[in-house]
Amino acid sequence: MPLKPVRLEPIAFCPLLVGNWKMNGLGSAVAEAREVAEALRAEPVRARVAICAPATLIERLARAVKGSALIIGGEDVHPEASGAFTGDVSAAMLADAGARMVIVGHSERRQAYGETNALVAHKAMAALRGGLEPIICVGETLAEREGGHALDVVCRQARGSAPLASDGMAFSLAYEPIWAIGGGQIPTRNQIEEMHGALREVLIEMFGVPGGVVPILYGGSVDQGSVANVLKAREVGGALIGRASLSATEFLSIVRAAE
């Protein structure tokens, strides 16, 4: 049975902090997620906190953090509900394993696997139909930024990747400037606000009033030192965190700094 869909509500404006483990983590990594969950039990935070992990770990993570505020998610999903797609994972499978969210359209998948906006939109809709909350990634390369095309590129991605038939179900956008990922570079506050403001206009144009409460996350070398300033920028509704989320200590330091 599909999960009950999460609805877009004003509460979505509380920050959403998502760790993306990428292709990292064996069974021993369950202890890291358990430590995060226990810390959130002991000292609750106002943010929603999630870890999106490899499919091999989702069921173990979900069991380990059951009853806590920590949300477990996947890193990708197939656009079809089932079928002869060897090696792929459907939304129903992710939900059955204990996932509540899923990342779609990450720049690494767009670049390495040639994922198009249309495919990302299909994946987002598949996630929604399965009761998952998709996090839809958009972002520009350094060449696109330096060529003055960043706004056009990213807004085009958002228009083409957002789930048009979302029917009020919750999803997020994550703006990740590709040139900043993993390199320690952070766009200026003005650059972040300009991009997030443009994305907000796209969401309202596409979805009307509900588009005003879709969280727009920032992703790109977010750490303890930068997260508070990033979250103060206009229209930033959270953060997508990569390498630093692999360590419970580092991830929790970011979560606490976001308060």
Distance, CA of 103 to CA of 94 (rounded, Å): 12
Distances (CA, A) of 149 to 141, 153, 155: 10, 6, 10
Distance, CA of 89 to CA of 77 (rounded, Å): 6
Element (H, E) at 58: helix 55-64
Verify whether residue 146 is a known catalytic residue. Answer: no
One of 32, 176, 196, 235 is an active-site residue; which one? 176
Distance, CA of 34 to CA of 43 (rounded, Å): 14
Verify whether residue 196 is a known catalytic residue. Answer: no
One of 32, 75, 78, 106 is an active-site residue; which one? 106
Active site residues: 106, 176
